[in-house]
Amino acid sequence: MKIAVLKETAPGETRCSAIPETVKKFTALGAEMAVEKGAGLSAGISDEDFKEAGAKIGTRKDVLKGAGAILCVSGPEPETLKDAGRGALLVGELDPLRRKVAVEGYAKAGLVALAMEWMPRITRAQSMDVLSSQSNLAGYKAVLEAAAAFGRAFPMMMTAAGTISPAKVFVMGVGVAGLQAIATAKRLGAQVSATDVRSATKEQIQSLGAKPIFVENVAGIEGEGKGGYATEMSPEYQKAQAELVSGHIAKQDIVITTALIPGRPAPRLISDAQLATMRRGSVIVDLAAEAGGNVEGTEAGKTVEKHGVSIIGAPNLARTLAADSSALFARNLYNFLSAFWDKEKSEPELPDDDEIVQAIRLTRGGKVVNERLASS
């Protein structure tokens, strides 16, 4: 089967859906790799690198012609795929809930669109999970962004000219991004505390050497909740959480917020009144900016200052680490397609009754077929 790798066209996208390593691995499976000219440049991969790994380089028209699978990071506009054949798989982050018209366009074009961000949270799919691989890098980079914007140092320093006290970092939302943010802030020498609604995270926070800050008098979500995700909390819990945050936040220098609820706007964790209690010069990095933000006043893609506090609305920080984020993303795509590879036919076979296929397949046979999309 021919596999096409597209050059990304979404504004600000730097990543590439393949790297030379995955090109070689797909070739070893019997696939013929075709990479659109310049696809890897923003991630530090030249056309020569891809050629050496065994790919052919061509225009979009060249790579799409006869391709059985099309790899991308962000979903392309359907009209840019008119040279693809009916039945071809389109694999990437297709953002189905916000791009319903595009999904219909994929259906009309006869493509089998597969939204990698809807990968179910099951053990078998861990190595295919683009949300995890990209969140991990975003959590790391969020702390570096905060450190760069902060007018003071992170670690305690005892110098001949006096002692500098360590920065206090508070991480709100301890999923994949939050855990990496805690670990990164600890490595930089900060005093770190963290909170989540899932009680299971308490132990994880402690194991990284940070202090858990939890609502104790109202039940949170035990274990992982449905599919490992949080759900919206009761008004009683939200009130208790707001009181807890108010008491804690005034003493913090840096706050990293990562809280998300799938299919819903991000929960509001810091109000304007709470912001006003923070010290001037404090920094907040809001990783939930694209989902509406965890902080009142967050603007996606901008840094705003309120009450002397800088709020960095950081959408998709993984894009700022294009080489690493591309490598992990590309491996997620390879892990997915190779897990379904039919060696005799030299192409992936996606069974209708498979949990992964059912979760991520959006379109097939000219129709939108995903239940989650139909019910939204």
Looking at the Cβ atoms of 173 and 293, the one nearer to ligand NAD is 173
Which residue's CB comes closest to ligand NAD? 175
User: Strands, DSSP E only, in the chain?
Assistant: 2-5, 32-36, 56-58, 69-74, 89-93, 112-115, 157-159, 162-164, 168-172, 191-195, 211-212, 254-257, 283-286, 303-306, 309-313, 341-342, 347-348, 363-364, 367-368
Distance CA(268)–CA(266), nearest Å, equals 6
Provide, rounded to whole angstroms, the least separation between the CB of residue 281 and ligand NAD. Answer: 25
Which of the residues 15, 17, 99, 132 is marked catalytic?
132
Looking at the Cβ atoms of 90 and 171, the one nearer to ligand NAD is 171
Query: In the complex, which residues of this chain contact ligand NAD (CB under 6 A)?
Result: 121-123, 125-126, 129, 131-132, 135, 172-178, 195-198, 224, 228-230, 233, 258-261, 267, 269
User: Strands, DSSP E only, in 40-161?
Assistant: 56-58, 69-74, 89-93, 112-115, 157-159
Provide, rounded to whole angstroms, the least separation between the CB of residue 346 and ligand NAD. Answer: 28
Which of the residues 46, 86, 126, 207 is marked catalytic?
126
Looking at the Cβ atoms of 76 and 178, the one nearer to ligand NAD is 178
Distance CA(136)–CA(341), nearest Å, equals 28
Distance CA(230)–CA(238), nearest Å, equals 13
Provide, rounded to whole angstroms, the least separation between the CB of residue 214 and ligand NAD. Answer: 10
Instruction: Identify whether 279 is a catalytic site residue.
Output: no
Phi and psi at 248, nearest 5°, equal: -85, -40
Instruction: Identify whether 121 is a catalytic site residue.
Output: yes
Instruction: Identify whether 129 is a catalytic site residue.
Output: yes
Which of the residues 15, 129, 135, 361 is marked catalytic?
129
Provide, rounded to whole angstroms, the least separation between the CB of residue 76 and ligand NAD. Answer: 25
Instruction: Identify whether 334 is a catalytic site residue.
Output: no
The catalytic site residues sit at 121, 126, 129, 132, 229
